[in-house]
């Protein structure tokens, strides 16, 4: 993707320089970027060009472990000030180059030019020139790249991000110098680089690669003694300061200087050193070193980090093995070939390529004996007449090791199925390199670098596709390319197939191809051209799986969430969690499943489409798997709910779920993030309407205690139109109760009463005592919150009578606590004390921390009102610990507010200030009025117990508002 801005659309782009002190220009005008912290924040956006950076990332990157007192609120202020400084002119209405996204901020890459982007372009030119053999052009390009550095990168900028980038860019500069000098030495320009290397070794006294280059340059300049003195000096420094001997590369150069090995030192063969084959001349066949590397793929994009790992320094005294694994079509071979061609000149005895065909459609894997004979012929150790078909693998492998003992080779082993295929092919010559690709993680192979290749980044995928199809100058075309890249899952094989189809159908519009790929049922069919097919590539991997793993793989395509864990597969297949985990790990090893984070897995989009396609032939399996996983989610939601098992008399039992307690179930649901609504929708769409209703009901408490009221209502709204299909008729009234609770907790009492009233009428008509008690209790709580204690008392009393009949302890506690709140509100403190004490006792026996925290909060507030400050502090301290443990932020903030008041009454203003600060930190950026209503409704008590907290929050909001951007800007 070009680094230059789209000048025609966006005017004169901004130019930034970071390879030295941070500077910026608009045209020829130098811009003032303000204080250094503000510059550091700009740098954090600039060096992630086009990527959204969250406020927390900016805060951590600029301030590190010591954030400012205002926390993340300083970020919008700094962004606003930067926008003003970077604007074309004061008061300009042009959109800012700093764009606000929902997740944070990003720098508009189309309107910004940086010296770092130019550096990447020049370095790519230099590498291309080197690979093509034009070393002079490579040296010129590298010199131009080094001239972009104007001193220490990002000098004087504070913060962890600037420090890390400063180190990275400084290391980049050192690598460029080494690459340039390497080419200069090969061109015979040793006199030009000696002085530069002496200066570089002075600033990097422990860098052994610099010392090795200096020794080679001195040797080429006929200064062998000086070269040996460099080694002695570096060795002495390493031993004295670090207690370590020089590494393999420096020792090898030292030995080469002693032996006058010009092949290694300057790349020019001498008569005495050209042959590295130590066999007698009569027994050695004449041969030229072979270069069997495939042609480099055109349009190779990205993969810089992976290339750097493959090209990292090697141990020159051993054979280096590096392995690349990944799913079918991800570009493993292209990456390895690109890396191999970049360093092939370092292997004077040949670059060999072996295709083991482990995953080729319609082709048997290569026979090991045949592969070894081909390798022996390639190094001149076997002629056609010597091709004895009776030779065994062990004997041929021994001959291969003997033949390569004195050779420096590169061997690329492509498409291995297992480690045992590769081990016999390893050469024996020190300094040799073996690059291996496989769809499986070859953990049985000793490798010093392992790279698990993922699909391309979004911008890289777009660049690859654009390079193939061309003609994407318009905004609609760019948008279509972006969507095609997404539909291809950013997989290089799929992108190249789409590109080839577009080339063969020039009249097809990009938008038409988007439509053809958008249908999951036909997407894999579209991703095929001649002998290249994404589906065929996946089919080979699938066919090689054992039966049990095939079944697990195809059912994972029906996971209701993008990421999943072992419990999902266990529920689908009725396995134990440990057996499911072993199955998932096997699929990870086969590169069909990706471990997104520890313990959670996912299928790439195209792989999931393929899994669902092969599962279509097994409808009974799919139906059983879906039923199992929906039951798992229902049981998890019920286990996480504070309502308790009595509240769910129909459907799966909450204690049947594989979770030790409610907190473990809550953590598991947290792993689904915002996809829980999708699970409800999928259950409903698949005809599991009862499960959808039970899940929406069970999630009500989970969602509302986290303030996710919209999700709570959305889950219920999915099922409400389907009530006629419900066999569990309890859901008809209970879903309406859930809607009433969600509205009531937000302070929408009118809507809450309508939903709860309807739930009460339905449950009375059906004779459902439990649902009547719940609807009446909720109506009483919200009546009290709305300031109607008399009506609340009547409703709560009726609810209590019914809850005793159904023996629901949770409803009993809520009744006692809320009746106590009514007495407290009307000044009957003794009666309130009795109700609260009974509620606390019952809540403790139930062992559910959240309802106990609520009741202790009320008890502590009453004690505070009665002047019993020590007892109040004790109760509130317990309440705060429990609220924090269950993650109920409004409850936690409310308790801290009251705890601060208790500390003030006890004469501890420092403790009070600390609790106020913790409360403000807990509520974060939530608005004061909304927080006040949420706390009030969450507690079922209309007098807000945290007026001090809310007022402080309001004052803070007003102070931030005064520093907000001018109208038309967002931060």
With cut-offs at 50, 70 and 90, classify the pLDDT of residue 924.
low
Q: What is the pLDDT of residues 656-700, one digit of tens each?
A: 778 888 888 989 998 888 889 999 999 999 999 999 999 999 999
In the chain, % of residues over pLDDT 70: 88
Q: Is pLDDT of 961 > 50? A: no
> Which of 771, 626, 770, 637 lies closest to 695, judged by CA?
637
| Confidence check: pLDDT of 546 > 60 | yes
pLDDT over threshold 90, residue 302: no
pLDDT band at residue 963 under the 50/70/90 scheme: very low
Structure tokens at 763: 């449950």
On whether the CB atoms of residues 396 and 388 are closer than 8 A, the answer is no
Q: Answer with the residue of higher pLDDT: 332 or 286.
A: 332
pLDDT band of 748, cuts 50, 70, 90: very high
Cα–Cα distance for residue pair 763/732, rounded to 1 Å: 9
DSSP letters for 875-939: HHHHHHHHHHHHT-HHHHHHHHHHHHHHHHHTT-HHHHHHHHHHHHHHHTT--HHHHHHHHHHHH
So what's the pLDDT on residue 538? 87
Predicted local confidence at residue 637, as pLDDT: 93
Most confident of 122-131, 407-416, 814-823: 407-416
pLDDT at residue 500 tops 60 = yes
Does residue 517 register a pLDDT over 50?
A: yes
Q: Each residue of 24-48: pLDDT tens digit? A: 998 888 998 888 999 999 999 998 8
Average of per-residue pLDDT across 910-918: 85
Note whether 111 and 13 are within 8 A (CB). yes
Helix (H/G/I), strand (E/B), else coil: 149: coil
Query: Residue 433 forms beta bridges with which residues?
Result: 320, 410
Give the residue-averaged pLDDT of 544-555: 92
More confident residue, 201 or 714: 714
* Averaged pLDDT, 720-746: 93
pLDDT tens figures, 571-617: 999 999 999 999 999 999 888 898 878 889 999 888 999 999 999 99
- Residue 105 contacts residue 99 (beta carbons within 8 Å): yes
Distance, in Å, from the CA atom of 47 to the CA atom of 63, rounded to the nearest integer, reads 17
Q: Which residues pair with 26 in a beta bridge?
A: 14, 29
Q: Is pLDDT at 202 greater than 70 in this prediction?
A: yes
- pLDDT for 909: 86
Q: Can you tell me the mean pLDDT for 72-89?
A: 84
pLDDT at 180 over 80: yes
pLDDT at position 728 is 92
Mean pLDDT of all residues belonging to the chain: 82
pLDDT at position 891: 83
Whole-number pLDDT of residue 811? 80
| Residue 955 pLDDT > 50 | no
């Amino acid at each position: 993707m070009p680094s230059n801005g789209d000048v025609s659309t966006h005017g004169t782009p901004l130019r930034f320089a970071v390879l030295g002190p941070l500077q910026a220009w608009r045209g020829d005008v130098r811009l003032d970027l303000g204080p250094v912290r503000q510059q550091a924040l700009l740098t954090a956006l600039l060096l992630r060009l086009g990527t959204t950076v969250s406020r927390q990332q900016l805060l951590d990157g600029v301030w590190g472990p010591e954030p400012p007192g205002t926390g993340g609120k300083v970020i919008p202020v700094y962004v606003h000030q930067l926008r003003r400084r970077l604007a074309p002119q004061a008061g300009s209405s042009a959109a800012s180059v700093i764009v606000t996204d929902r997740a944070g901020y990003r720098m508009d890459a189309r309107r910004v030019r940086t010296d770092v982007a130019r550096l990447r372009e020049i370095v790519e030119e230099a590498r291309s020139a080197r690979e093509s053999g034009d070393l002079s052009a490579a040296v010129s390009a590298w010199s131009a790249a080094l001239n972009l550095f104007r001193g220490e990168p990002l000098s004087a900028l504070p913060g962890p991000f600037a420090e890390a980038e400063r180190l990275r860019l400084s290391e980049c500069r050192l690598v460029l110098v080494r690459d340039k000098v390497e080419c200069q030495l090969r061109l015979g320009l040793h006199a030009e680089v000696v002085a530069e290397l002496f200066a570089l070794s002075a600033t990097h006294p422990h860098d052994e690669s610099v010392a090795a280059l200096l020794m080679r340059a001195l040797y080429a300049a006929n200064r062998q003694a000086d070269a040996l003195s460099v080694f002695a000096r570096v060795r002495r420094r390493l031993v004295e300061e670090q207690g370590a001997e020089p590494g393999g590369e420096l020792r090898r150069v030292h030995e080469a200087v002693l032996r006058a090995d010009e092949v290694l030192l300057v790349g020019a063969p001498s008569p005495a050193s050209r042959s590295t084959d130590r066999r007698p001349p009569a027994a050695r066949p004449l041969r030229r070193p072979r270069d069997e590397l495939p042609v480099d793929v055109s349009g190779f994009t990205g993969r810089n980090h992976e290339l750097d790992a493959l090209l990292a320094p090697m141990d020159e005294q051993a054979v280096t093995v590096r392995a690349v694994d990944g799913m079918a079509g991800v570009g493993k071979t292209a990456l390895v070939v690109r890396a191999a061609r970049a360093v092939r000149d370092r292997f004077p005895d040949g670059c060999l390529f072996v295709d083991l065909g482990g995953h080729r459609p319609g082709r048997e894997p290569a026979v090991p004996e045949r592969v070894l004979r081909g390798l022996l012929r390639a190094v001149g150790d076997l002629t056609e007449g010597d091709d004895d078909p009776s030779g065994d693998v062990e004997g041929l492998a021994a001959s291969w090791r003997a033949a390569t003992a004195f050779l420096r080779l590169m061997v690329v082993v492509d498409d291995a199925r297992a480690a045992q295929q590769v081990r016999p092919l390893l050469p024996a010559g020190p300094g040799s390199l073996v690059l291996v690709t496989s769809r499986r993680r070859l953990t049985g192979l000793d490798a010093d670098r392992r790279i698990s290749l993922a699909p391309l980044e979004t911008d890289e995928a777009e660049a690859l596709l654009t390079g193939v199809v061309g003609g994407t100058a318009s905004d609609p075309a760019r948008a279509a390319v972006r969507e095609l890249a997404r539909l291809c899952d950013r997989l290089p094989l799929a992108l190249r197939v789409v590109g080839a189809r577009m080339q063969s159908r020039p009249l097809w519009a990009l938008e038409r191809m988007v439509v053809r790929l958008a249908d999951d049922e036909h997407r894999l069919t579209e991703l095929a051209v001649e002998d290249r097919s994404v589906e065929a590539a996946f089919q080979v991997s699938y066919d090689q799986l054992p039966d049990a793993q095939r079944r697990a793989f195809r059912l994972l395509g029906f996971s209701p969430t993008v990421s999943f864990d072992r419990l999902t597969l266990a529920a689908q297949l009725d396995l134990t969690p440990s057996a499911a985990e072993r199955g998932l790990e096997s699929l990870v090893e086969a590169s069909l499943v990706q471990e997104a984070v520890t313990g959670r897995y996912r299928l790439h989009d195209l792989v999931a489409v393929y899994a669902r396609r092969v599962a279509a032939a097994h409808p009974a399996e799919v139906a059983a798997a879906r039923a199992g996983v929906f039951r798992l989610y229902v049981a998890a939601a019920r286990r996480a709910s504070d309502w308790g098992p009595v509240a769910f008399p129909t459907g799966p039992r909450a204690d049947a779920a594989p979770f030790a307690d409610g907190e473990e179930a809550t953590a598991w649901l947290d792993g689904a993030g915002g996809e829980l609504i999708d699970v409800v929708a999928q259950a409903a769409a698949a005809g599991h309407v009862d499960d959808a209703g039970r899940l929406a009901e069970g999630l009500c408490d989970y969602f509302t205690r986290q303030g996710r009221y919209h999700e709570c209502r959305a889950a219920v709204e999915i099922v409400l139109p389907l009530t006629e299909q419900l066999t569990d008729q309890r859901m008809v009234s209970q879903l309406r109760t859930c809607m009433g609770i969600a509205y009531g907790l937000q302070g929408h009492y009118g809507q809450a009463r309508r939903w709860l009233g309807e739930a009460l009428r339905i449950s009375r008509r059906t004779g459902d005592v439990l649902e009547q008690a719940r609807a009446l209790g909720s109506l009483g709580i919200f009546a009290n919150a709305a300031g109607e204690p008399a009506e609340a008392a009547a409703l709560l009393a009726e609810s209590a009578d019914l809850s005793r009949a159904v023996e629901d302890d949770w409803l009993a506690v809520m009744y006692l606590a809320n009746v106590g709140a009514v007495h407290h509100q009307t000044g009957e403190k003794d009666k309130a004390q009795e109700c609260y004490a009974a509620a606390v006792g019952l809540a403790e026996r139930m062992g559910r921390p959240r309802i106990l925290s609520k009741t202790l909060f009320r008890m502590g507030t009453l004690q505070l009102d009665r002047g019993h400050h020590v007892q109040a502090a004790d109760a509130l301290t317990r309440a705060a610990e429990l609220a924090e443990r269950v993650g109920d932020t409004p409850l936690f903030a409310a308790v801290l507010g009251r705890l601060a008041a208790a500390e003030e009454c006890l004469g501890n203003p420092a403790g009070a200030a600390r609790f106020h600060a913790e409360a403000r930190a807990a509520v974060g950026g939530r608005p004061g009025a909304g927080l006040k209503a949420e706390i009030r409704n969450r507690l079922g008590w209309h007098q807000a117990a945290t007026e001090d907290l809310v007022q402080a929050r309001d004052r803070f909001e007003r102070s931030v508002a005064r520093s907000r951007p001018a109208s038309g800007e967002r931060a």
